[in-house]
Structure 1
Amino acid sequence: MRLWMIAYDIADDATRTRVEKYLLRWGNRVQYSVFEAYLTPQQARTIVRDLEPLLDSATDSLRLYPLCRWCEPQLRIHGQGRRSETVA
């Protein structure tokens, strides 16, 4: 399991709400349209598979960034927020 950053930009309000609710089941919201989640590669593929049909490729974007084991400890938070915890 590794830490992933998931970011999205979705034009339609209803679709954006569905995506937000879906992602809250997987991880923590750290910015308005950014989540952090501890995922296996299979779980990351599941998220893409489940959300891709909801997105309009002409206007929407969904991005998943895996953070390497070296990068994760280097994460710095300034201002509000705290480090995401591993989900057991």
Structure 2
Amino acid sequence: MTVSEQVGSAEAEEAYDEAEQLDDLNRAVGKQVGLLRERSGLTQKEIGDRLGYGPDLISSLERAYERRSASSWRRRTNSSTPVGC
């Protein structure tokens, strides 16, 4: 294997690791969204209305089908009002 092939392989492995970590983050956030929503007694539509999302997106988030980047989670978290408000 040439040096350029090794570098390309290392970059591909790093990109895969980042994607895997993002998937783990999305699953963890989705699970927490679902648990907190249920504990609050809210429907997916109600929490979606409060956060500015539709119920389909909330459902996708809870099931980790909606892939979000870490930066988009940070942007959304920093701009949202708490659910209880």
Interval of TM-score (by shorter of Structure 1 and Structure 2) = 0.3 to 0.5
Normalized per residue, which structure has more strand?
Answer: 1
When the two structures are superposed, what TM-score results if normalisation uses the length of structure 1? 0.36
Larger radius of gyration: 2
TM-score, normalised to structure 2, is: 0.37
Q: Which has the higher contact order (CA 8 A, sep 6+)?
A: 1
